[in-house]
Amino acid sequence: MGWWKGTVRAVKYFEEARTLWQTYVPRSGQAATIQGEDIRSVEKLRDEAQRNGNINWSKNHEKLVAFIRKTLVESRLFDPAAEAEIEADTERLLDADHPETTDEPFDRLTDRIVEWSRAQPGPVPHTPDPHLHI
């Protein structure tokens, strides 16, 4: 995907997000770190909504949303307002019948992933889900 190529987004932490992508997201398959899997998940969801209109939406996409939500909300890193925003953004992405065509919720989630990553002492291992095929 390479979301940063030739693109300007409202991602507050654009350079850090790009570094997470370049460092932790493999060419194919799931990432070996939570940082990489979260960034990969956001971009898979963005691509499906904006390029495909969610035509290929499946339970796998729902798993990606759940993974992002779990990582960010269960960390208890964010204040109640930020948690509510994360919940609203992830809930919006789950509305597969009405694909999100703007970048705003994806960009906000990307910024939250960067903030979560900053709070970690280093790469957090991710065990790939053998039932996730996306």
Q: State how far the Cα of 46 lies from the Cα of 107, in Å rounded to an integer.
A: 10
Write the pLDDT tens digit of every residue in 26-54: 999 999 999 999 999 999 999 999 999 99
Domain residue ranges in the chain: 33-118
Average pLDDT rounded to a whole number, residues 6-13: 70
User: How does the average pLDDT of the chain come out, rounded?
Assistant: 93
Which pLDDT band, with edges at 50, 70 and 90, does 10 fall under? confident
Residue with more model confidence, 2 or 18: 18
Whole-prediction pTM value? Answer: 0.92
Q: What 3 state SS string does 1-49 have?
A: CCCCCCCCCCCCCHHHHHHHHHHHCCCCCCCCEHHHHHHHHHHHHHHHH
